[in-house]
Amino acid sequence: MLSVFKSIPTHMDYKGQKLAEQIFQGIILVSAVIGFIYGLFIQQFGWTVYIMLAGFTVSCFLTLPPWPMYRKNPLKWQPAVPEASGENRDKPQENQKKKKHK
Amino acid sequence: MNTVLSRANSLFAFSLSVMAALTFGCFITTAFKDRSIPVDIHVSKVMIKNVDDFTGPRERSDLGFVTFDISANLQPIFDWNVKELFLYLTAEYSTKSNALNQVVLWDKIVLRGYNTKLNLRDVKSKYFFFDDGNGLRSNKNITLTLSWNVVPNAGILPLVMGSGHKSLAFPESYETAKSY
How does pLDDT run across A22-62, given as a tens digit for each residue?
Answer: 999 999 999 999 999 999 999 999 999 999 999 999 999 99
- Counting residues of chain B whose pLDDT is more than 90, the rounded percentage is 38
Element (H, E) at B80: none
CA distance B78 to B76: 6
| B31 part of contact set with chain A, CB < 8 Å | no
A39 CB neighbours in chain B (<8 A) are 26, 80
| B14 part of contact set with chain A, CB < 8 Å | yes
CB distance A25–B14 less than 8 Å? yes
CA distance B35 to B156: 13
pTM for this model (two decimals): 0.76
Whether the per-residue pLDDT at B147 is higher than 80: the answer is yes
CA distance B1 to B5: 8
CATH class, B33-168 region: mainly beta
Q: Give the domain ranges of chain B.
A: 1-32, 33-168
Beta strands in chain B, from DSSP E residues, in sequence order: 39-52, 60-73, 82-93, 101-111, 117-124, 129-130, 142-152, 159-168
Which of A28, A29, A39 shows the shortest C-beta gap to B80? A39
CB distance A25–B15 less than 8 Å? no
